[in-house]
Structure 1
């Protein structure tokens, strides 16, 4: 009798493809013909669950490709990257990388970056709660203290820089979008993702504002983040960027000890 790990490997192979059944059948009690039927049922359920998980995480990609094509992509992805986590909410993390290398989607060259944005949106839906900061976060700070300030972003906040207008594509495929598509595919775009209550939102950022919050995410003091933004665009409006962040709830409020909550 093979060790548990080997038995699990064989069973997993049988769930991935019918070709793996012959290896696992000797480990199963009962009639081989009946066990083949049961394995096919388990395999179909596994495929359906993986496909449903990808549909949930990548609804815009599904709208772009159409249901049948997306389901075919999901099956190929499952063959290439089988789930290694018991939580299907975390399945599909590498879908964008899979699309990068999948020749048939080259006619939709923006699709991998749309998938990257959708994964950030999916992660934001599961992000923990975090108390947003108000303007009091900066109140009373002398210039030196402001420069040394290390800000934290609320859980779920993320950034994506793309050569494609990914924010526009995502927004145009939402249920509340208008029917007229007006997207310039030749325009690179930087996107911000965040959770607003129970809803995840996406917006486009100018390069300097993106540089500011990217530096903050990287742990830079606020003064260095400001310098990075100004280097991107000498006309950068810091007040407008901070006002947007406070209004959208991107910045985490500190607790009584001064640590972000």
Structure 2
């Protein structure tokens, strides 16, 4: 079963302006244009939780497009269920347009998950893992001053602030990798051999990692910024 653009009479049409529903190709092209404008190496990620069979994302399973044996279900949806789960009394119709849309952005792994699953954790974990891969390292865009050049370690002086809802707070530095009591977030400074290759470039010598307390929601308008005392001799300190 494939998606087909239909006009008001129910006839197939190749004219996107005559289609009753916006063609899937239009949504795909829009996201592809966004991906083309993003920073090099970044991508647009698409995952769909829909009416595909349980464990469909593991591969080797086909989506079923068949009439339902239940006349009430057939009358309501015009097709049988794409998935079901008697443990949760969950059913869902098989995706057509959503399947085409998701497959246009599929990588090496299947990006369609079953809405009939009684546990969405595997789907969410896969989605989050994809996002983590796409997030670039937080390189500090300057050469930070070493306050004590008698040691090999970079002794930095930095302040990290977080602004949300019109309020700005100073975030503490993490203590041995742990978030200090009374704080919901903290930062870790990476230097030397711990730098990501994207940060280990001439003119830069510091990378930040932000840790947040589990279970604490992150505001949608959050803006985190860092300010550090800079070296006056970049070519010498950050060759």
TM over 0.5: no
TM-score, normalisation: structure 2: 0.29
Select the structure that is richer in strand: 2
Which protein shows a greater Rg?
2
Select the structure that is richer in helix: 1
